[in-house]
Every structure is written in structure tokens, then in C-alpha cells.
Amino acid sequence: MFKGKINPKRNSEVEKVLELSKEKIDDCMQCGKCSAGCPANAGMDVLPHQVIRFLQIGDVEKLRESKSIWNCAACFTCESRCPRNVSVSKLMEAVRQTVVRKQGEDRLTPEFVAKIMQDRKMPQQAAVSGFRKYTK
């Protein structure tokens, strides 16, 4: 586990993720149940409990660069296993939205999807879901 102090003054990027997800990351006690139960964790470079930790220390850029936000199947297993009812799926969706919005548009392009789908472990459901969410 990486160490870092929780940032009481959150930067605007973290605030944006929290605003989009409506989740309370301070409730997380880093028990790891979300990561242990995640069916997609084998293809993740940042595990679900680490996603929350990166948000707690204010490092959103590390999450934006990770494959994990695109590998999340949004099955909500993390939320069902969490003793504090924190949904990592909602947080990952919010980080994905910030990536898409940072590109200057509110949708994914076929070129961007092709780039992230070069990873053969990426579930095809992620690409289909991305097109549904971001092409309307």
C-alpha cells in the first residue's frame, strides 16, 4: 500500500469527481473488501480501494492515466461488499467523465475507444457502454 496524507483541502479535480459521483470518500476505511470482491481486478493497475486512496490524497491525474477506470465493469460488487456503502464504481465513472470532458467534448470518439481497446483484457462491454453513454 502506498502512503500519503489525506488532503483536508481538496483540489478542484477531486471536488469535481465527488460532485459527479455523489460519494463520500472520507467514509472509506481502506479495508480492501471492494478490491477482494471485484471481478475485474485482474486487469487493473490500480485496485478499487487504491482509487479511493488516490482521491483522498488528491492525485486524480494518476487515476486518469490508469487502465483501471476503463476496466471497471460497473457491476457495483464493490458497493455491495463495502461496510460503509462507498461505491467505487460511481467514483470510477466520475473519473472517466472527467477524462472525456477534458478532451473538450462530452462524448467518446471511435479513435479514442480504439486506443483504449488495444489492451486485449479490456472487456468489450466497456466500449459498448462508452458509446451508449457518450455518443448521445
Indicate if the alpha-carbon torsion angle 71, 129, 97, 111 is positive or negative: positive
34 in any annotated domain:
yes
> The domain that contains 64 carries what CATH number?
1.10.1060.10
35 in any annotated domain:
yes
Closest C-alpha to 40, from 78, 80, 66: 78
121 in any annotated domain:
no
Number of structural domains (the chain) is 1
Looking at residue 130, its pLDDT comes to 61
Looking at residue 50, its pLDDT comes to 95
For residue 62, the enclosing domain spans: 12-106
Q: How far apart are CA 48 and CA 89, in angstroms?
A: 8
Looking at residue 114, its pLDDT comes to 74
pLDDT by 10s per residue, the chain, length 136: 555 555 556 788 899 999 999 999 999 999 999 999 999 888 899 999 999 999 999 999 999 999 888 888 888 999 999 999 999 999 999 998 888 777 665 566 677 777 777 777 766 666 666 665 554 4
Looking at residue 104, its pLDDT comes to 60
111 in any annotated domain:
no
